[in-house]
Amino acid sequence: MFTVRCFWRTQAKHLVFPPAVRDGIKSNNRMSTSAHPVAAVCQVTATPDKEANFSACKQLVEDARQGGACMAFLPEGFDYIGSSREETLSLSESLAGDAISRYTKLARSLELWLSLGGFHERGPNWETDQRIYNSHIIINDKGDIVSVYRKSHLFDVELPERDVSLKESAFTIPGPSLMPPVQTPIGKVGMGICYDLRFPELSLALRRHGAEILTFPSAFTVPTGAAHWEVLLRARAIETQCFVLAAAQVGWHHEKRSSYGHALLVDPWGEVLGDCGGERPGVTLVEINLEKVSSTRRNLPVHQHRRDAGFYHSLEQS
């Protein structure tokens, strides 16, 4: 049995807990009474204002902790979404900068793990080439950075009939490799970012290396989100038999760009357990029962039925 709880930020900037949820929180340590660990998937509307973005994300993370979560997931571009290439680059920082320092302190103060899903990280040759990574950072409850994955697949897409034109590679360096799944309080988390979702090879590689949960923090465009977002997330969950958690950006970031929203939580059977909707920031909480992963894999052992890698490349050799 899974308990899903969805909270939305109101214009008055406060959170209202339904009575059943409020009664399930221990006021002395802010922990849920659930027998299973609780994950929080956040939905954000980032702008070029970094200070306002941190304030909004901090409030959502605090709400998640109050709701009993032991790990919270923030979306791609949680730090900011710039209105131009020049602004995007000028606002970027290194991992040692003020932005990540504030999140490590937040994780430590709340005793909460954080998945920061798409940080504008200055590249190794920043002074000469002015290029950045799109980096997914996991911070533990002690405030330590335990893993950094740099986005592998860059979103270079022209869809004129849908008014979508983005070229991430113009200023972003593709990441050099995948990162091993990270052991967290909710299970082993495999890391992707947004456009990585469209490449099943990435998800299957993480599954082979022990992932029980996949996460794709995103800022999907409205046209591609409406067409593909949910079906892609459910497909990745079904084929890997993992939980899939996808924090999302929502709404208008500035006059040139908006995001689809619908931060989702999907179980290993492909069932959507929670959806933050497509209108406003919020947070969805879900209990993660890893027995669902085990039983799904045991009862439908598709990965035991896979042929060796050579079989799938046999057409190339014929």
Q: Which residues are catalytic?
A: 76, 151, 194
Contact 99, 54 (CB under 8 A): yes
Q: Find all residues with CB under 8 Å of 5, minimum gap 6, and list them.
A: 18, 21, 67, 274, 284, 285, 286
SS3 259: strand
- Tokens representing 60 are 């959502």
Round to whole Å and give the CA distance between 103 and 45: 18
Round to whole Å and give the CA distance between 92 and 89: 5
Q: Angle, nearest 10°, between helix axes 230-240 and 200-208?
A: 30
User: Up-side HSE of residue 246: CA atoms within 13 Å toward CB?
Assistant: 36
